[in-house]
Chains A and B, each alone.
Chain A
Amino acid sequence: MKHLKEEELIAYREGVAEQRSAISEHLSGCEECRSELERIEAVLAALDTLPVPDPGGDYGRHVWRQIAPRLPEKPGRWWQVWLQPRRLAAAGGVVVMIVAAFVAGRISKRGNAPDNVASQEQVRERVLVVAVGEHLGHSERMLVELSNTVPNNPKQKEVNISAQQRRAEDLVEENRMFRQTALQEGDAGLASVLDELERVLLDVAHSPEEVTPAQLEAIQKKIEARGILFKVRVFNKELQERQEATKPAPAQNQSAKRERNKA
């Protein structure tokens, strides 16, 4: 007797087999193929036990709260979403710096023609470095504030963290943009730190506005356990060093000139 192939058994199990009735008929008379099908089913049944976390009864409302401020007034073209105030604010800062960096690049180019390509690269990197540095600084301040928040008195039942929560919501937006830019630029180290920071920011943004002291402690422990403040500080320091390293050459030349003149 010719037995069924693994491909046919899987297709049958997943309901995509073309000759379903022929396979059924074969299975009814072939114990070997039935056992093989049972082995496939055992693996799939084990996979079915992998849990999906429950996002909560009000998850739909939560998603709406997150996306509503980012929706344009009317559904339309993709670029309209970039005209939303929140995105404009984040993107605007980056654009201003790009323009400033471009102008700086043009000025430095005049006196330094052979290093043109290198200096343009440096300018590009500086733009990202400065913008991300500021973002990390804001995130760090918010997380430090939250980590140092304590109930006013031992009997206080709830602590209001709405200010930090709103700031975290804004920072998530910015963070996502920088992370995607870092990935496009191939800066995996930065993308990785931003990815971890995003998880913490999301945790804070998703917290209730008023939390019990126990919930506050849990959030603080989470921040501490992930070591995100340390990582942000270390990376911010690294960014400052990068910023120093990519400072425009003319300034250094002039300072060197001054030193030489003094001598």
Chain B
Amino acid sequence: MNRMQQSVDSTQAIAESDAVAVERTLAGDRDAYRVLVERHSHNVFRLAYRMTGNRHDAEEVVQEAFLRGYQKLGQFAARSNFGTWVYRIAANYAIDRMRQRQKEDSRREAPKAEESDGMENDPLNHVQDKAPTPERLTQSIELRKQMELALAALSEAERTAFVMRHWEGCGIEEIAAVLKSSSNATKNTVFRAVQKLRQALQPFVETKTQARAMGTES
């Protein structure tokens, strides 16, 4: 059996097992919901973090998504995929949370950098050459700051569309359902998001590439 077939089989097995857990939960077995929460929490957290940009909000989104999922489980269509369904609930709540956050942040004096991630999560540590020269550190910090700013500058719809499409690989129809928009409009939103990110980040990415070519990075 090849790897692709194994992956398809495993996805089907999870979906079937999810369907059983949903049925048991609806029949009154509250612990069955625990299986679903434990199985899907990491994925929902990843989506929530990318959408909200901070851990605190991401954790709130995850908890609310599963709470709302439980409350609405009666509306869940048996043929659907629970993972996709709770994902959509999380994306919707994350949009609400981002709106609230924007209002809150606009009243604060200065934006705060997300605590604790620090240099151990330096984005450029994930690419090939890791020698921490001063130039490289400066560029890494600057590039990361610019990427966070560029993402924060997207509208909620653009950020949602970009995160769901680019990072989470969701289908256009699925994203359109979250954004309550048509497929064509959703494609345009993905395009606008990438275009804005490109405009904001291209100079920094080019500087980085030039520096590498000139050998200022080891």
Residues of A with Cβ closer than 8 Å to B?
6-7, 10-11, 13-14, 16, 39-40, 42-44, 46-53, 55, 59-61, 63-64, 66-68, 70-78, 80-81, 176, 183, 188-189, 191-192, 195, 198-199, 202
Contact = CB atoms under 8 A, between A and B. Distances in A.
B50 interface: yes
Given A53-B55, A63-B62, A75-B25, A11 B37 contact: no
Interface of B: 25-26, 28, 30, 33-34, 37-42, 45-46, 49-50, 55-56, 59-60, 62-63, 66-68, 70-74, 100, 103-104, 107-108, 117, 121, 123-124, 126-127, 143-144, 147-148, 151, 165-167, 172, 187, 190-191, 194-195, 197-198, 201-202, 204-206, 208-209
A63 B66 contact: yes
Contacts of B68: 78
Contacts of A77: 71
14 contacts: A11-B187, A14-B191, A40-B198, A47-B147, A48-B167, A50-B148, A53-B49, A53-B121, A60-B41, A60-B42, A61-B38, A67-B67, A75-B26, A77-B71
A44 B194 contact: yes
A28 B202 CA distance: 24
A50 to B, nearest CB: 5
A10 B108 CA distance: 36
Question: Which 3 pairs from chain A and chain B are nearest by CB?
Answer: A60-B38, A49-B123, A75-B73
Nearest to A13: B194
A14 B33 contact: no
B63 A66 contact: yes
Contacts of A67: 37, 63, 66-67, 70
Contacts of B56: 198-199, 202
Given A16-B165, A67-B63, A75-B73, A46 B34 contact: no
Given A16-B190, A199-B56, A63 B74 contact: no
Nearest to B121: A51
Contact of A59 (B41, B172, B202, B204): B41
B202 A44 contact: no
A52 B191 contact: no
Nearest to B44: A63
Contacts, number: 147
A179 B71 CA distance: 22
A75 to B, nearest CB: 4
Contacts of B45: 52, 55, 59
A44 B147 CA distance: 10
Nearest to A188: B107
A44 B166 contact: yes
Contacts of B205: 42-43, 46
B194 to A, nearest CB: 5
Given A43-B197, A52-B49, A81-B67, A60 B37 contact: yes
Contacts of A198: 56
Contacts of A176: 60
B17 to A, nearest CB: 15
Contacts of B46: 52
A195 B124 CA distance: 31
B201 A188 contact: no
A36 to B, nearest CB: 10
A191 B108 CA distance: 11
A7 B70 contact: no
Contacts of A16: 165, 172, 187, 190
Contacts of A60: 37-42
Contacts of A188: 103-104, 107
A183 B46 CA distance: 26
Contacts of B108: 192
